[in-house]
Amino acid sequence: MKKSLFIGLFITLIFPSVFAQSGTRFLENTPWVNVLQQAKQENKLIFVDCYTSWCGPCKQLATEIFPQKIVGDFMNSKFVNVKYDMEKEEGLTFNQKSPDAIKAYPTMLIINTTGEIIHKIVGSMPAEELLSAIEEGLQGNTIYTFEKEYQKGNKDWTFIKKYLVALKYANEKETYEQVARTYISRFPIDSLLNLEIWNIMKDIIVKDPYSREFRFTVAHINDLEQRGVERYPLEQELSSSIGFAVNMLLIGCLNTENKDTLQIYEEQAKQLRSLLMHPIKGFPESLAELSLNECRISGNVNELYKRFCVLMNCGFIKRSIFQEYMLEYLIQKSNNKQHLQTCIDYLLALQKNTSGWEKENINKTIATGKEKLNSCK
């Protein structure tokens, strides 16, 4: 794959004139009114490539996909093709016409001669996949037509699958999740063991450790593996999501003294703890981190410091933002010189790998720690 991409890029650079003749012909930075006029004259739809100069996938489309003859033959026969750098000149003007349509780059739009967006595709992909996605739009299988059908109450599984595919290509993540969850809620939870349903829901499931779907996945990971789901990548995603949830819970606890709020966090900690008892790679580390919550709730700063140092030295606490919050809290609450100095040392090490606002916050915490250290007898 890498070799073929390299060869394609090499040919593009060495023989640009070949691609200029056989690839996709684009108008560039052309005023939108002129593009509409040309489309009306040629009786064609408009294909718009919305890109930025810093976007890697945009460059891949420009150098490896659009120059291909098979892509050019298709695109040139069907569309008036235009591309805009969305941060310059006509691109800025075009973006103002439909600001909600462009949320990521590259975004490709199919627009009719009245200026109505009829199809959207987001992201770089192989030529065959891109042409297939465009063809789907030409056949009317677009998020815009599907949304109207969905609102009318069509919940047929064949239709839902097509709608979800269109939403995925359009990068409409929130709507994708809403439609998928609404559909799956009609079935018992063990329907997730159906691979067709699992493949639709998997990216949603692994994000929310408090959901019933996440709990089911953790409890039935062996069953999913037996049905062909790769265990290692799934364990990685589950571990990452629950680890993040543990860190966010602890950061919340560190930033409040309200008893009712702490009680809510304690209930959430119980839910996470029950999940973390399952034998899944990465869960023991998060379970160890969660033990810090017990010390925070009880107000035992010395024990919190000891456990934190053990976890840091074992390499269990990896997220820098969580380390920063913990060290800031310990500096605020501790009056032990040795503890303060250790916290400052951790912050100095952390400082080397941070920048921007995070580095500024660390510097402030270090200054606070040194001031407090100097005042200790």
85 lies in the same domain as 124: yes
CATH value at residue 63: 3.40.30.10
Instruction: Give pLDDT, residue 377.
Output: 62
106 lies in the same domain as 164: no
Query: Tokens representing 242?
Result: 């629950």
118 lies in the same domain as 19: yes
- Would 262 be classed as within a structural domain? no
58 lies in the same domain as 163: no
Query: Tokens representing 121?
Result: 């595709």
Where in the sequence is the domain holding 336, given as residue range(s)? 319-377
**pLDDT, average across residues 308-330:** 86
- Would 180 be classed as within a structural domain? yes
**pLDDT, average across residues 182-190:** 85
61 lies in the same domain as 169: no
154 lies in the same domain as 93: no
Tokens 């789907």 label which residue? 136
- Would 199 be classed as within a structural domain? no
- Name the range with the highest mean pLDDT among 37-41, 249-253, 308-312: 37-41
Find out whether 276 and 242 touch, Cβ atoms under 8 Å.
yes
Domain boundary (161, 184, 207) is at 184
pLDDT above 70 (res 7):
no
C-alpha 61 chain-centroid distance: 21
pLDDT above 50 (res 199):
yes
The confidence band for 20, taking pLDDT boundaries of 50, 70 and 90, is: very low
- CA dist 368 and 370 (Å) reads 6
Query: Tokens representing 63?
Result: 């150098």
pLDDT above 80 (res 4):
no
pLDDT above 50 (res 74):
yes
75 lies in the same domain as 95: yes
Beta-strand relationship, 107-111 and 45-51 = antiparallel
89 lies in the same domain as 153: no
- Would 169 be classed as within a structural domain? yes
- Would 236 be classed as within a structural domain? no
Radius of gyration for the chain, computed over Cα atoms and rounded to the nearest angstrom: 27
- Would 290 be classed as within a structural domain? no
Domains contained in the chain, number = 3
> The whole model's pTM is what?
0.63
Query: Tokens representing 90?
Result: 């006509």
47 lies in the same domain as 123: yes
118 lies in the same domain as 166: no
Instruction: Give pLDDT, residue 38.
Output: 95
- Would 265 be classed as within a structural domain? no
120 lies in the same domain as 154: no
- CA dist 72 and 79 (Å) reads 10
Instruction: Give pLDDT, residue 247.
Output: 87
Tens-digit pLDDT profile for residues 151-166 = 998 988 888 888 888 8
Tens-digit pLDDT profile for residues 204-255 = 888 899 998 999 999 999 999 999 999 999 999 999 999 999 988 988 888 8
Query: Tokens representing 77?
Result: 């026969």
| Average pLDDT of the residues of the chain | 87
- Would 282 be classed as within a structural domain? no
99 lies in the same domain as 169: no
